[in-house]
Amino acid sequence: MAEVKDSQPLEIQKREYQKMVQEVQPRPTVGRNVFWAFVVGGLICVLGQLLLNFFQGRGLPLTEAGAATSTVLVFLAALLTGLGVYDEIAKFAGAGSIVPITGFANSMVAPAMEYRGEGLVLGVGARLFTVAGPVLVFGIVTAWLVALLYYFFR
């Protein structure tokens, strides 16, 4: 068992205390989290597929049907965020609701609502990308690196 004593050097106290925290801290419910992430994430994908089939059935070519599907999913996620429902879903779904495009929409709308009080320009305008910004930055950098590799090694 971890033992923290005032007589120990601070570094030892910190190490022992870290062990004690590990002993006490509850284990994350990985099994349940993975299950719900799979179910909810899967359902969002099923919805996407249904929408895609619908738009294709109405005569749109695949790429344009894809764009229309994304638009609808983004709209739905934004609406649910505005109604205060999306974060309740995410509490159970975790990555299942963060990874799909709906999570991206949520991460844009949430700060937009949050910073409305600080005005349209310095509030919403400046803070809109606080959560989504890093995703875009690293997404674009990765795409650029992959394109570079493709250019030299194809």
Partner 1 sequence: MPAPKKNGLQTVWFQNPPVIISTATIVGSKEGQGPLGHTFDKVVEDNYYGEDTWEKAERRMLKEVMQNAIQRANLQPQNIDCLLAGDLLNQIISANFVARDLGIPFLGLYGACSTMYEGLALGAMLIDGGFADYVLVGVSSHNSTAERQYRYPTEQGVQRPLYASWTVTGAAAAVLARQGNGPVITHATIGKVVDLGQSDPMNMGAAMAPAAADTMARHLMDTQRQPAYYDLFITGDLGTYGRELALKLMQQKGYDISDRFSDCGILIYSPEQDAHAGGSGCACAGVVTCGYLIQEIKAGRLKRILGVATGALLSLCSYQQGETIPGIAHAVVIEGR
Taking CB under 8 A as the binding criterion, the range among 16-24, 49-57, 64-72, 133-141 that sits at the site for partner 1 is: 16-24
Subset of residues 35 to 64 that bind partner 1, contact rule: CB under 8 A: none
Q: Quick check: 84 binds partner 1 (CB under 8 A)?
A: yes
User: Per-residue DSSP letters for 132-150?
Assistant: HHHHHHHHHHHHHHHHHHH
Best CA proximity match to 48, nearest among 93, 7, 99: 99
Structure tokens at 91: 């509490």
Ramachandran region, residue 94 (left: φ > 0; alpha: ψ -120 to 50; beta: rest): left
Q: What is the CA radius of gyration of the chain?
A: 22
> Crossing angle for the helix pair 30-57 and 62-82, nearest 10 degrees?
130
* Distance from C-alpha of 84 to C-alpha of 56, rounded to nearest angstrom: 32
Is residue 25 close enough to count as binding partner 1 by CB under 8 A? yes
Q: Given the rule CB under 8 A, which of 28-36, 43-51, 56-64, 135-143 is the region that contacts partner 1?
A: 28-36
Q: Does 24 interact with partner 1 (rule: CB under 8 A)? A: yes
Asked whether position 110 contacts partner 1 by CB under 8 A, the answer is yes
Minimum gap (Å) between residue 114 Cβ and partner 1: 4
Task: Report how far residue 56's alpha carbon sits from residue 66's, in angstroms, rounded to the nearest whole number.
Answer: 9
Per CB under 8 A, which region of 15-23, 41-49, 53-61, 145-153 contacts partner 1?
A: 15-23
Query: Any contact of residue 100 with partner 1 (CB under 8 A)?
Result: no
| Contact footprint for partner 1 (CB under 8 A) | 3-6, 13-14, 17-18, 20-21, 24-26, 28-29, 33, 81-82, 84, 86-87, 89-91, 93-94, 97-98, 103, 106-107, 109-111, 113-115, 117, 130-131
